[in-house]
Amino acid sequence: MVNTLNEKNSTFVLFFTKVILIMRRLAVVAFGGNALLKSGQKGTVDEQEANAYAASKNLVKLLNRRYNLVLTHGNGPQVGNILMANSAGYKSYDIPDMPLDISVAYSQGFIGYMLEQQLRNVLMENDMDRDIISIITQVLVNKDDPAFENPTKPIGPYFSKEEADIFIKESGSVFKEDKARGGWRKVVASPEPLVIFNMRSIEKIANDGHIAIAVGGGGIPCYYKKENKLQGIDAVIDKDLASSLLASQIHAHKLFILTDVPKVFLNYNTPQEKSLDRLSIAEAKQYLKDGQFSSGSMGPKIQAAINFVVRSGKDAIITAPELLGVDNGGTRITIV
């Protein structure tokens, strides 16, 4: 009799837990690479772990608001450093140089590990228990995407014009100036993401109450070399565009795009600068057309927000990590 009661109680608890998880909303939170490796830092493990810990603390507010979570992250600074380390190893020790898609995979692994570890530390501090699963994610692109003829995606640290000229001469790399942040960065091809692999598993993991880390650095770019034959390709997919595609494909209720400013600004870094609390799709498209948002900075975030809102009918929010989950924090992009 006692065993029967215990079995019934266990069944009830399991059923009740599943109901709670189903009632939770699903959010995709896109961290920028600069949230983990800040401007001016060298990129030591201690620095990046401290940044990952600080970023993870902000997620508790969403968990307390009954969100299930999928985390994505950028890798611009990190993958740039990986490429420079590869180049130095090749020149000094004849270590085989790794292509860009492998470097993206490398960055997914170590950034996912740091995020998972520091988030687990934060969860334990708050008496929360969730599995955290890092997923090495491939993303399909078109090898004939026009982006391969016009590199725009900035990676790695900022350099002076003189330093950038040296790299251009030595390696033939393409550098472009980011006037808003005062420096030159290497740019690479950034094709449009078409298909997120393993999206069904990502959705299930999150809706089962666990936290998935996926589409790191926009995903590892690959294409079909021939029928049924995948191959990596030299590119970096924009993290925000890939996160937006993932969010719509896994039926997320909200997309949070995190950056280093609290809101979206018009006339950024000018005397006419103005912050925006809300943007309709029509307004966002017009400001994008008017050139208000740089292609190497806020532009892809605005486009990613537009894509998600159009596909899902749900809201997207662009904000700083510390305002995550705060009422009226950031800029909300809506249908109207």
∠ CA 126-131-132, rounded to 5° = 95
Contacts of 151 (CB under 8 A, 6+ apart): 174, 187, 188, 189, 190
What 3-state DSSP class applies to 5? Answer: helix
Amino acid at position 62, single letter: L
Query: Helix, strand, or coil here: 4?
Result: helix
Would the CA dihedral through 110, 112, 115, 119 be positive or negative? negative
Residue/partner pairs of 264-269 with CB below 8 Å, 24 or more apart: 264/293, 264/298, 264/301, 264/302, 264/318, 264/331, 266/292, 267/292, 268/180, 268/292, 268/298, 269/180
Q: Is 34 a catalytic residue?
A: yes
Annotated active-site residue in 239, 254, 263, 314:
239
Q: Give the distance from CA 173 to its chain's centroid.
A: 24
The structure tokens listed for 270 are 């000018």
Question: Which tokens sit at 139?
Answer: 């993303």
Rounded to whole angstroms, the Cα distance separating 276 from 296 reads 20
Neighbours of 145 (CB within 10 A): 18
Exactly one of 34, 121, 142, 198 is catalytic; which is it? 34
Q: Could you confirm whether 161 is annotated as catalytic?
A: no
Active site residue 313: no
Is 86 labeled as catalytic in the residue annotation? no
Catalytic residue from among 57, 153, 186, 314 = 153
Question: Among residues 301, 307, 329, 330, which one is catalytic?
Answer: 301
User: How far, rounded to the nearest angstrom, does the alpha carbon of residue 124 sit from its chain's CA centroid?
Assistant: 24
Catalytic residue among 33, 112, 216, 329: 33
Examine the residue annotation and report whether 301 is marked as an active-site residue of this protein. Answer: yes
Name the 3-class secondary structure at 77: helix
Considering only CA atoms, give the Rg of the chain. Answer: 21
Active site residue ranges: 33-34, 153, 239, 301
